[in-house]
Amino acid sequence: MTTLRLLLGDQLHDGHSWFADVDDRVVYVMMEMRQETDYVLHHAQKVIAVFAAMRAFADRLRARGHRVHYLRIGDRRNTQDLEGNLRALFAFHLARRFEYQAPDEWRLDDQLDRFARTLPIPVQRVDTEHFLCAREDAQTFFGEGRWLLERFYRWMRQRHRVLVDARGRPVGGRWNYDEENRSAWKGVPPEPPDARVRHDHTALWQEIRAAGVRTFGEPCAARLPWPRDRDEALADLRDFVANRLPFFGTFQDAMHGDATRLFHSLLSFALNVKLLSPREVIDAAVQAFADGRVGIAACEGFVRQILGWREYVRGYYWSVMPGYADRNAFGHATPLPAWFWTGDTRMQCLRSSLRQSLDHAHAHHIQRLMVIGNFALLAGIDPHALHQWYLGVYIDAFEWVELPNTLGLSQYADGGRLASKPYVSSSGYMHRMSDYCGRCAYDRRKHSTADACPFNALYWDFFARHRAALAANPRLRPTYRQLDHKQPDMPAIRARAADLVARLEDL
């Protein structure tokens, strides 16, 4: 009686109860597949990092005595799709039972669900034992009401007893220290050295290329810094807590052309492939606060990202799927400019953020939201094309977390169900939070001249274009009052915006 247990590439959780006992009747199957490399054009580092972590995970299981059947991307018997491989493996192992962990992406969940119904053997789907919430918890919490991160986050703090006292009140007296977390970074304190272990994945990269997988971005195959296994991910967590977490809150929204990482954790890849659990990451930050190694604002700011945002967007994803990827509330249809794939634009903020994304498969939250996403929304870029770009480019991009962030939070494509107002800004925000404007070919103070920062005209044009949809939003009343005062300048501003959109490729 052999049971086949499927492990997907983002299910590398070795604390899962599946692995508590070694059982010779169980075969774990893992597979590198074109189905998974090709559903969107991926950054090379993402394909390499996921396959490298999968291979290391398989070795780890074998070392603990488990049976593992691993299909490499170049294996002759690899059919390159989930169902073909599974059917062949069922026959090979004479499997009498099939078990799998619930996929985090609707696409795979649906595929496995439909596939399972065709099988003549018993099938069981189990939890990944990773997240702090079940898929439907956030939807149950909000019911018919409006989705608001802050409400959900406070509930999660109390439910999971994180930074609350015995009576459920917030430690430090406040739930949220966001207002203290908005400083620009001027070089002090210095960015700590990057202590991540780098791996030579040249051989793996050659296998990927030989299999015909198309990718983009810098592969960095000879010195890839993404963790391969849990031990490395834990070392990255310890290094972050010791050296960056103390400043995380203060500079959370800061951007700098020479300091790409600043005080961010870079733990999203390890979290999303489940090398780390959210609970242990939160506990490490809370322990550092309890020991007096970090202040409450830094600790709370970081905890909010994982206990709050990460669980919140996942709950949102499951409440809106399927069909969410087609949402386009503003009807935006402008194609993605070619420079999204090269970073070759004279706008320094975009040049810097895009190049960083293409070189490192990573950009931090404010670059994703307030530079790249901001520009795309103001310029009326097709949100679906943008979603595919984000899904492909970032090392941590899996649809359950990428899609709500891109379509909902960043592009307002769901008409404001996730974000209470569009996250857009003119050059003022960029200038306040970064050093980009000082190095830019465009002038941040100008609006409608040929050398004016494109964000300025596009910003006011956006609010003018979408007045019918947005003017009644109470959070946007001050913006519309300002726009009304600008009426004499608007013809020139709108002409400049139209010209910018027409010449998008040349910016």
Using CB under 6 A, count the residues that bind ligand FAD.
27
Give the tokens for residue 244: 């960056």
Shortest distance in whole angstroms from residue 489 CB to ligand FAD: 30
Nearer to ligand FAD, 393 or 483 (CB): 393
Within 241-270, the residues that bind ligand FAD by CB under 6 A are: 264-268
Q: How far is the CB of 401 from ligand FAD (least distance, A)?
A: 4
One-letter amino acid of 495 = A
In the complex, the smallest distance separating the C-beta of residue 144 from ligand FAD, rounded to whole angstroms, is 24
Neighbours of 97 (CB within 10 A): 17
- Phi/psi for 351 (5° steps) reads -60, -50
Give the contact letters, 26-65, x = binds to ligand FAD (CB under 6 A), - = no: ----------------------------------------
**Alpha carbon distance 84, 72 (integer Å):** 14
Q: Are strands 95-101 and 123-126 parallel, antiparallel or unpaired?
A: parallel
Overall size of the chain counted in residues: 507
Sign of the four-CA dihedral 204, 207, 213, 215 = positive
Residue 357 or 479: the one with the smaller Cβ distance to ligand FAD is: 357
Binding-residue pattern over the window 373 to 412 for ligand FAD, x denoting contact by CB under 6 A = x----------------x---x-xx---xx--xx--xx--
Nearer to ligand FAD, 274 or 368 (CB): 368
Distance CA(434)–CA(199), nearest Å, equals 32
Q: How far is CA 503 from CA 131, 162, 337, 500, in A?
A: 45, 50, 10, 5
Considering only residues 174-233, where is the footprint of ligand FAD by CB under 6 A? none
Q: Tell me if 364 contacts ligand FAD by CB under 6 A.
A: yes
Q: Which is nearer to ligand FAD, 406 or 434 (CB)?
A: 406
Per rule CB under 6 A, is residue 365 in the interface with ligand FAD? yes
Residue type, 463: F
Residue 189: cis peptide before it, omega within 30 degrees of 0: yes
**DSSP 3-state of 222:** coil
Which stretch in 64-72, 216-224, 361-369, 497-505 sits in contact with ligand FAD by CB under 6 A? 361-369
Task: Give the DSSP H or E segment for 499.
Answer: helix 490-502
CB of 367 to ligand FAD, least distance (A): 8
Cβ pair 38, 214 in contact under 8 A = yes
Our finding on whether 354 is near ligand FAD (CB under 6 A) is no
Could you tell me where the DSSP H helices lie in 380-451? 383-393, 399-403, 427-433
348 vs 356, beta carbon nearer ligand FAD: 356
Pick the closer one to ligand FAD by CB: 57 or 153: 153
x/- contact string, 295-314, with ligand FAD (CB under 6 A)?
----------xx--xx--x-
**CB 417 to ligand FAD: min, Å:** 15
Q: Is 273 helix (H, G, I), strand (E, B) or coil?
A: coil
**Collapsed DSSP state (helix, strand, coil) of residue 505:** helix
Report the interface residues with ligand FAD, using CB under 6 A: 264-268, 271-272, 305-306, 309-310, 313, 364-365, 368-369, 373, 390, 394, 396-397, 401-402, 405-406, 409-410
